[in-house]
Structures are given as structure tokens and as C-alpha cells.
Amino acid sequence: MNGLGGLNKSPNGVVIGLVQLQLPRIATKADLAAQTDRIVAMVAKARSNLATMDLVVFPEYALHGLSMDTDPDILCRLDGPEVAAFKQACIDNRIWGCFSIMEANPNGSPFNSGLIIDDAGAVKLYYRKMHPWVPVEPWEPGDIGIPVIEGPRGAKIALIICHDGMFPEMARECAYKGAEIMIRTAGYTAPIRESWRFTNQSNAFCNLMITASVCMCGSDGAFDSMGEGMICNFDGSVIAHGTTGRVDEIITAEVRPDLVREARIHWGVENNIYQLGHRGYTAVKGGAQDCPYTYMHDLAAGRYALPWEDAVKVVDGTGCGFPAPTRSYGAAQTPASREAAE
């Protein structure tokens, strides 16, 4: 059901392009400007590549590379020149785009943020990564939840980033809020390949939701990202998959949000997202609608603790060269804590 990669578009279809972008090395403002221009050029390539494409998706770290550099000179703002260039590219090419920025945060560490911009240049979705890939990533944990928007052709779309997709709760939240398509952008390298594949499929199947996921691709001389553009149908089957690791290849497919809606209404067996809140409805009217999960109660009450909590060895980023944090979540960064972080 991919319409030959979107070449043949049905009236209810949404065509997605996943850019396996060459992994860059970014150290200066000039590097950032050059990479911005490169992404803008790839938006134009996407439009030229497939006239039917509705949404082009760039990976996490498309703009900044994998250096984890928090130098203020190469951080972005929503009103900065990089986002302005992405908006103009979407206007010029009459296409929706999904982009990644490392965003300056005056009250703490930078945010790892994602944007979806429509074909008129308006930011329709703004998301901050909820689960940075600790202990490797120094980003502030996201604090604005998971927005769901009405995207091209009326499709309900959510965006999560990389490590977020390893938590089943993230995909469930997207679907619970109505998402029919979940975008997952990433910078993952080869050791995560198998986990990437089966979580993309399980996130789709467990939520009757299309997943469209893509990583950076190729080498920057130190790291090797894997590409692995992957579109999964709501039954967990793989519609399209970039398995060759070819840099700058755009993996495309047509997806059908209308069939997601149909399945969510008409499926009985394995309609898991409905059945979670209606346990055993064959035996009891409406099913059990309690919350029998201890971890949910504890997390909501702020007392989440594993049975082996005190034995966990890696609990900060010191092993990856970052100073141990002293600021609690939600607290503003002080001059002293900012100096320590730098």
C-alpha cells in the first residue's frame, strides 16, 4: 500500500519522504549557515524528486551533527535565520517539512526541538524532545508534552525524537491524542539498528498508527549514522525501508490515514489502544476501566522508583564527559550553575 513509493497517489493518500541526510560536522556559525543552505536545497530536491510528496522529513541532528556541542554561537531560536530559511523553503516548494534544531534555552540546557512547517511557511507543530538519550546527550528534558496537529490532507500527525521511540508510553500518548501518523526523527548509529526496526513496527501495531522514522546517514569521520528510513503501516508491516544506507536518499511511500481511522473503529481483535481502557469487555459491560498499573500511579504521584533503583550505576552524564548537574528539573539556571555546565 505504498503507491509505488507515492508515484501513484490515491484520493485519500498522504505521501511522505524521509531524507537520509549525510551526517555533517558543525563547529562554527559558518558551518551552521552552510548546513542550513544544504537542507533548503534538499527540500527542493524532495519536491523535484516526487511531485506528489506532501511532507518531507529531515532527521534529528540534520542541522547540528552529532557533536553534542552546546556552544551558544551554534544554537538556534524559533525566530532565527535557520528556521526562517526552512519556512521559506516550504513556501517556495509548496511542501510541508519536518526539521530539527538545537534550541537555545536561557533558563537551562538547550532543548532538542522539532518543527513541522506547512506549505505556507507557518510552524504548525513545535516539540521538545522528552527523553534525551542519556547519558550521551546534554539536552534539557522537554516540558511541553506531545502536540498533535492536523497536517497535510487532514492527517493527524505527532512528532517524537529518537530515544523517545524506545518508550511505549510515547507512541501511546501520540495515538491517545489522536495521531494517525507518528514521525520519529533520529541520529542513531549502527548499534541501535535492530532496536530501531522492531520499535518502529511495535509502536505502529500496538497503537493502530502509521510510523514514519528516519536517521541521519553516513559518516562525519567519527560517527556513522545508519539512515534506515522506515515507514510502517498500522498493522506493523513495513511499507518502505531504506536498508542500503545510501546518503541523501529520500525514502518515500503513500500512507492512508483513512484506513487507520477505519481500523480503530472496526477492529475487534488486537484493537489494543481501545482495549487498554476497556479490559475484558466480553465479560463485563464496557470493560474494566480502572488503572491496575503500579508504575503509572507512582509516576503520576512523583514516587517512581524501580525495585533495583539504588543499584543503578549510571545516573548522570559524567561518564560521557559532562559535569554532574546540580539544578533540579523546572528550576531556572543560575549564573553559578551555568558556569559549572560550561
The catalytic residue positions are: 60, 129, 162
Tally of CB atoms within 10 A around 285: 6
Q: Tell whether the torsion through CA atoms of 109, 84, 162 and 193 is positive or negative.
A: negative
Phi, psi of 226 (to 5 degrees): -110, -5
- Measured CA angle at 87 (ends 83, 89), to 5 deg: 115
- Measured CA angle at 137 (ends 136, 140), to 5 deg: 145
Helix or strand holding residue 252 (H, E): strand 250-255
Q: 185 with 214: CB under 8 angstroms? A: yes
Strands (E), 27-152: 55-57, 96-103, 111-117, 123-128, 148-150
Distance CA(154)–CA(135), nearest Å, equals 38
Q: 141 with 130: CB under 8 angstroms? A: yes
Classify each residue of 121-151 as buried b or exposed e, where b means 16 or more C-beta atoms within 10 Å of its C-beta: eeebbbbbbbbbbbeebbbbbbeeebbbbeb
Helix or strand holding residue 310 (H, E): none
DSSP 3-state of 19? strand
Distance CA(70)–CA(341), nearest Å, equals 10
